[in-house]
Chains A and B, each alone.
Chain A
Amino acid sequence: MLWQDSCKMSARTAQIRFVSSHFEVYEPCDDSFALVDALLADRINLLEHRPTVCMEIGCGSGYVITSLALMLGQEAHGAYYLATDINPHAVRVTRETLEAHGVHAEVITTDIASGLERRLAGLVDVIVVNPPYVPTPEEEVGCDGITSAWAGGENGRSIIDKILPVADNLLSDRGWMYMVTLTANNPSEICLQMREKGYAARIVVQRSTEEESLHIIKFWRDFDSQVEANEMVTTNRAAPTRIVESMLSQFPRLPFWKYGNDSCN
């Protein structure tokens, strides 16, 4: 396959024409492209980071994990890729997409990382996640099939809030996480939660479409954040305001920051 040879020569992402599909599986869309663009934008850092274990939570069509594997290389570069999805159709489609691109990731049908949390704790260097972030009635959360790809419950946060502690448990000391969020998810509050766990954050890609405003946020373990968060817990009741302010200054140009509790659309 000639195109596979050529992909070794430059940064490549998954080709839409080779991405498999199924009517119950979310197809690559603006949010998937924004996440892959964020990984591409950070590719040099990722290559220098030399992750040993990379994982996608909620792999859907497989477009993102395939792109990551193409971008960073396979075992020859020393990386082990894992992808999970709660939707069995999605996991099968992901495997087909990976095979069509000649790359490998281990795929597992499971809820977030259930079954992996004990042995994989502290081992994952890179997590990518495009969670179900669309605000929906709570009853739609946990539905089967394609609904599981987008139904996010109140403020679109039900699944995100389950993923955050799991990711914290899985990430290694040098772990990074790239997450897609919608303005309605209140990303500033997500960053604050992660800060309390000792993570710094920055926005890698911001993109507005007709329907939604997306931010791809990168989290990484940051000793200073942890110290600050611990101080907040143990000594200083007024500190949360200070932390929020320091985060505000970190993302000065974001309109949602001032209107953190507004939902979009």
Chain B
Amino acid sequence: MRLLTHNMLSSNIKGVTNGFPLRIEVEKVVEKPVDFNADFLKNMFAKIEWKALVDASRILGYAELPDEAEPSMLDSDDFLKKFHHALLELHLEEGALVCPETDRRFPVTKGIPNMLLHEDEDINNSAAFLNADTV
């Protein structure tokens, strides 16, 4: 699981209002080289919660990202390369994602997070959600 994906995941448990970011428990990190594409990074930058990415990359052992970032930094190749590495090349291979509100653990096995919920945790079981957009 890339940190880009971590940045897109929130706790989906019923009743949780602040499920982002998920805390990371690390058992194994792998690095996989990815072709560099500045346009892709510039496209994604505005969609990234920067602090969550910085914290996650530090937990995975990469401390090169600045605490704060702004769009003007996208002109710097050095910044883009660090952003690229943190976002795409660091993988949480084994470990867990933990709901910040409930401490519920979502395991990550072979790089695959498992976000499946038990029935009593599942917001989709409330009829209101399903009926909101159906006639």
Contacts of A260 in B (CB 8 A): none
Choice from B34, B113, B134 contacting A108 with Cβ under 8 Å: B113
Residue of B nearest to A52 (CB): B43
Kindly state whether residue A168 has any CB partner on chain B within 8 Å: yes
Contact B7 A197 (CB under 8 A): no
Choice from B12, B19, B112, B124 contacting A107 with Cβ under 8 Å: B112
Kindly state whether residue A261 has any CB partner on chain B within 8 Å: no
Contact A108 B124 (CB under 8 A): no
Q: Is the interface of A mostly helix, strand, loop or mixed?
A: mixed
Choice from B4, B20, B88 contacting A118 with Cβ under 8 Å: B20
Q: How many residues of B contact A (CB 8 A)?
A: 40
Contact A109 B116 (CB under 8 A): yes
Kindly state whether residue A165 has any CB partner on chain B within 8 Å: yes
Contacts of B2 in A (CB 8 A): 106
Choice from A80, A92, A114, A119 contacting B112 with Cβ under 8 Å: A92
State the CA gap A86–B112 with chains docked (Å): 12
State the CA gap A88–B108 with chains docked (Å): 12
Separation in Å of the B65 CB from the closest CB of chain A?
A: 19
Determine which residue in B35, B40, B111 has the highest number of CB atoms from chain A within 10 A of its CB, and name it.
B40
With contacts defined as CB atoms under 8 Å apart, how many contacts are there between chain A and chain B in the complex?
105
Separation in Å of the A74 CB from the closest CB of chain B?
A: 7
Contact B10 A78 (CB under 8 A): no
Kindly state whether residue A244 has any CB partner on chain B within 8 Å: no
Contacts of A123 in B (CB 8 A): 8, 47
Contact B8 A120 (CB under 8 A): yes
Kindly state whether residue B117 has any CB partner on chain A within 8 Å: yes
Residues of chain A from 161 to 190 with CB closer than 8 A to chain B in the complex: 161-162, 164-165, 168
Separation in Å of the B13 CB from the closest CB of chain A?
A: 9
State the CA gap A193–B113 with chains docked (Å): 32
Kindly state whether residue B39 has any CB partner on chain A within 8 Å: yes
Kindly state whether residue A252 has any CB partner on chain B within 8 Å: no
Contact A164 B133 (CB under 8 A): yes
Contacts of A118 in B (CB 8 A): 10, 19-20
Choice from A80, A88, A119 contacting B9 with Cβ under 8 Å: A119
Determine which residue in A76, A91, A114, A193 has the highest number of CB atoms from chain B within 10 A of its CB, and name it.
A114
Kindly state whether residue A255 has any CB partner on chain B within 8 Å: no
Determine which residue in A77, A86, A92, A106 has the highest number of CB atoms from chain B within 10 A of its CB, and name it.
A106
Contact A75 B34 (CB under 8 A): yes
Contact B19 A82 (CB under 8 A): no
Contact B40 A80 (CB under 8 A): yes
State the CA gap A95–B93 with chains docked (Å): 13
Contact A80 B111 (CB under 8 A): no
Kindly state whether residue A110 has any CB partner on chain B within 8 Å: yes
Contact A109 B133 (CB under 8 A): no
Contacts of A77 in B (CB 8 A): 37
Separation in Å of the B98 CB from the closest CB of chain A?
A: 13
Known interface pairs A82-B8, A106-B1; 9 further A-B residue pairs with C-beta atoms within 8 A, sorted by A's residue number: A52-B44, A75-B37, A86-B116, A92-B112, A108-B9, A108-B112, A109-B112, A120-B8, A162-B124
Give the interface of A toward B (CB within 8 A): 52, 74-80, 82, 86, 88, 91-92, 95, 104, 106-111, 114-120, 123, 161-162, 164-165, 168, 193, 196-197
Contacts A/B (CB < 8 Å), 16 sampled = A80-B40, A88-B112, A104-B32, A106-B2, A107-B112, A110-B115, A114-B122, A114-B124, A115-B11, A115-B12, A116-B8, A119-B10, A161-B134, A162-B130, A164-B133, A197-B133
